[in-house]
Amino acid sequence: MDIRVICAIGQSGQLGLDGGMPWEGSEDRVYVEDVERFFEITRGHVLICGPKTVASFPDFAHNDRTIVTIRSSDDPEDVLSRFAERVVFVGGGPAVWDVYAKYVRHWDINRLPYDGEADTWFDPAWLLAGGRHTIRR
Ligand SMILES: NC(=O)c1ccc[n+]([C@@H]2O[C@H](COP(=O)([O-])OP(=O)(O)OC[C@H]3O[C@@H](n4cnc5c(N)ncnc54)[C@H](OP(=O)(O)O)[C@@H]3O)[C@@H](O)[C@H]2O)c1
């Protein structure tokens, strides 16, 4: 299966603030281009996300991608197997990536110049989730 993530983080891993992006409303080119790129790359594909992340998308986002709200009661492998023939983007938030990271083969992370507050953070451990560890002594 082709399971991916596309996300944007601040300089220290900031992901979210008050239900939206921490840099929400910024009109600087780098932030606008990030949003445009997100919609371009996910176009035509499946985007599975927790309820707050789904609520943060504008209505038009539903027109040209399949946005699916996932719940903690859903079995991740059941969810993913429903879209076996599609490219699936796991859209977060953190509790979702905690569980789905081990299935992800491609991470697309845009590190933005934002250095302010956040209430939701990226965890670098997601990148190696489910991998095998070799301990050298
Ligand atoms: N910067 C970025 O690229 C980016 C990307 C995504 C999100 N965000 C930001 O992150 C924030 C929202 O994230 P959030 O984590 O607070 O809320 P969220 O998107 O609602 O995601 C967490 C919720 O997903 C549900 N869920 C679904 N499957 C799950 C599973 N297998 N295990 C655990 N929970 C599961 C749970 O809700 P139930 O228990 O109710 O089912 C959980 O509370 C917003 O500020 C948003 O803008 C930023």
Tens of pLDDT along 17-41? Answer: 999 999 999 999 999 999 999 999 9
Indicate whether 135 belongs to any domain. no
Question: Looking at residue 119, what is its pLDDT?
Answer: 97
20 lines ligand 1 (CB under 6 A): yes
53 lines ligand 1 (CB under 6 A): yes
71 lines ligand 1 (CB under 6 A): yes
With a CB cutoff of 8 Å and minimum separation 6, the contacts of 91 are 5, 6, 7, 47, 48, 49, 53, 54
State how many domains the chain has. 1
With a CB cutoff of 8 Å and minimum separation 6, the contacts of 118 are 10, 14, 15, 16, 17, 22
Is the pLDDT reported for residue 137 higher than 60? Answer: no
Indicate whether 136 belongs to any domain. no
Nearest residue by C-alpha to atom 40 in ligand 1: 71
Question: Looking at residue 75, what is its pLDDT?
Answer: 98
Residue numbers of the domain that contains 14: 2-128
52 lines ligand 1 (CB under 6 A): yes
Tens of pLDDT along 61-101? Answer: 999 999 999 999 999 999 999 999 999 999 999 999 999 99
Indicate whether 52 belongs to any domain. yes
Question: Looking at residue 131, what is its pLDDT?
Answer: 75
Tens of pLDDT along 110-134? Answer: 999 999 999 999 999 999 998 766 6
CATH number of the domain bearing residue 52 = 3.40.430.10
Residue 88 CA to ligand 1 centre (angstroms): 16
Indicate whether 57 belongs to any domain. yes
Question: Looking at residue 136, what is its pLDDT?
Answer: 65
Indicate whether 137 belongs to any domain. no
Q: Give the closest residue to 64 by CA, choosing from 35, 33, 43, 36.
A: 43
